[in-house]
A and B are shown apart, each in its own frame.
Chain A
């Protein structure tokens, strides 16, 4: 797949010592020629050492920045090092590295700027709680309305982006719950987004903390952020 292009797999991790080794090894097995960088977002456990011991590059943030700030660190690094493609994979092991190739191929073949690995394009056996499912459906509707085509899984953090997006994200990336907002952000800059179906497994370790109250809080916050984005100044005149 690589065609001589430099690929960077960005794995944000916050207290993921139980799964990080397995994630890194899996990625390495499926994509031996790409570089792997783990963003250790101020973990209190041994995430950093474990990632380092299986040969990943590790960016240690001095304190916890949250997922947005951590992801952006990876994009900054990718931009600085001149990578052509960046792939983000969660550190908890729910994204299957053998699907990365699919994402990158779609990026290339369909000439897209960002490809999202979606759990819902096709029926998959991936089970989500009811609260989460409803939240995703609402978000998906809202975002599809804004961008003008269907986005089935706006919260998926399994993504591949090209050079243009790396550059954009390294200078500006949404903070708290960045995935849905990033889609709208790219749309505003006139960049194209596509989805490919992927299978995902449930978290291998750790508990997902999505409950009803959290889902509602998440929804309100994300919708508010997207709403506010609509009033922001348009993209900088580029070309």
Chain B
């Protein structure tokens, strides 16, 4: 699944090109709020980080989690509660949310990694549904209402986040931090062992790796980063609700990653951008969003399982192979 990173690592020329492209992309993101509605951009950034975190698991360990909404939405609740009820500083609140998601990841992951493949997907889905039921019942989430009116507050007590542009750049900074964290994980020795497990779990076991620990480690990191995205979203949009913990949200993040390209670094970002843009576009029309999401799922699975970025990389790889 992960043709992308290995391929780029093998091609020094392309590596330079991609660095140039990366710099251009960051420049573009810095300039974006002058051309687009910042709230939508921030939404894309939050979901893009969420999708990248999810992709860390499916793309580089081969585990399909169908319950990542629990970490995203769970962190949103923790952050919202910390900022609103405890009156904590926004960044601290976000980090608390991510920490909460990591703890949940440890618990859910500990149970789920006992099975593989299709069972892993069903188990994560069931456990996240359990979490959603709990969120519906406990007082601290305020049930159907959710936690509303979360203050954005002052970053480090100094910078007013109620300014849309400031909020955007802080969100961008968090996104870039998360993205590079994932990039570092994937390209570390730890990441290489994860890929070895994905390719052939038995061989990894026979080489003496304690596969379960690596899987659990990756699961917790993925959950924490999904939590970072969810906590940020709670500050940006100033609320946390049941929507973020439900299975539909887990489905959406799968779609974003699948559409952009499982196992590619930038695929999930592209996918998140496209899905958010489509949702915004459809919000004005009468067409049901769920149906469209379902249709995209079916088309992706049947026609381009590598996703948009994955297919482009595959085309480039075939071309260079053909030339040399």
A and B found bound together = no
